[in-house]
Homo-oligomer: A and B are copies of this chain.
Amino acid sequence: VQRPTIADIARLAGVSKGAVSYALNGQPGVSAATRERIQEIAQAIGWNANSAARALSGSLAGAVGMVLARPARTLGVESFFMQFISGIEAELAPGRVALVVQVVEDHEAEIATYRRWWGERRIDGVIVADVRTHDTRIPLLEELGLPAVLTGGATSHHGSIARVWVDNAAPVRVALRHLHGLGHRRFGRVAGLPELEHTAMRGEAFDEWLGEHDLTGLTRYTDYSPEEGAAATRALLAEDVAPTALLYDNDVMAVAGMTACHEDGLRVPGDVSIVAWDDSVLCRIVHPGLTAMRRDIAAYGAVVARTLLDVVDGHRADARQAATPQLVVRASTAPPATT
């Protein structure tokens, strides 16, 4: 089958290719009647702009990219990314912008991917996941001038690149207040990778709130895997003054932690209360259901995509804030056993 081009449309409409281009792109330069006739013909013959030709003639590539740098071991464990992608696409779809996804093993490969994409002119901008405290991706993106939006970070200034940030501190305080209200006084935190900005943000809020209330809090860092989540849980519960309530940085570790408790003969929430970040189907379907921080991940993705499109269009887009996660109380939190 032969793909129709603007030359076909021009012939059918009896105008020049230039006129067709103006008509189809909403540019001035053609009469309303001509424009309409051209649009009808394009529709009728099922024309779609050849994305390569459009990209080559100085316009945009019509695609944005996202690199997921995760070791294969922890990939696909959390449902976060599928929902995030789904929200991104919802925002990209009306503008017919495609999403190129690249899964790589490490940070170095991610950097190489940005360089390559830039050289290939394959994408118009990138969504940067999991911003780190000292993130080498940021100077690279600035050097290349590749439009980008940073996600998963704090408000802090990172040069000139736009960002969408989430308040990770307030939910920590809400969770601690909830647990404190139930009577808990000793808290543990099973945290994710310490170099990620949002991990730091949560950790600061955790330490600060406990400090203000003269309470103790212990933190263990992990790689988000269930194995490390279970190990951190056991380590925290083996402390001299063991915590009675645990906060987890992802849903998978929270469930793994709960299972570790069950295997060790501890009841949830009888002996240990559990709160998970990023509420998910997983939190809802286990028994007992997990008290968790909920946010609309798809909506978050949509804000991120909108911000990137704005940056690509040359608008200023500084730091935008996505919705703050809300605490959803389920059956995994209860007053501590009286000792």
Contacts and interface: CB of A to CB of B under 8 A. Distances in A.
A328 interface: no
A286 interface: yes
Contacts of A121: 3, 50-52
A16 interface: no
Identify whether the interface residues of A are mostly helix, strand, loop, or mixed. Answer: helix
A116 B96 contact: yes
Which size bracket describes the interface of A in this complex? 35 or more
A58 B295 CA distance: 46
B51 A120 contact: yes
Contact of A100 (B99, B115, B230, B280): B99
A116 to B, nearest CB: 5
A103 B79 CA distance: 15
Interface of A: 1, 3-4, 46-56, 61-63, 72, 75-77, 79-83, 85-86, 89-90, 93, 96, 98-104, 115-116, 118-122, 143-145, 226, 230, 252, 255-256, 258-259, 262-263, 280-282, 284-287, 298
Contact of A53 (B48, B56, B81, B258): B56
A93 B104 CA distance: 9
B98 A86 contact: no
Q: Oligomeric state, in number of copies?
A: 2
The 8 closest A-B pairs by CB, nearest first: A48-B119, A76-B82, A52-B55, A76-B79, A52-B56, A76-B83, A51-B120, A259-B287
Given A51-B122, A121-B52, A226-B281, A89 B72 contact: no
A55 B54 CA distance: 11
B98 A122 contact: yes
Contacts of A116: 48, 96
Contacts of A93: 104
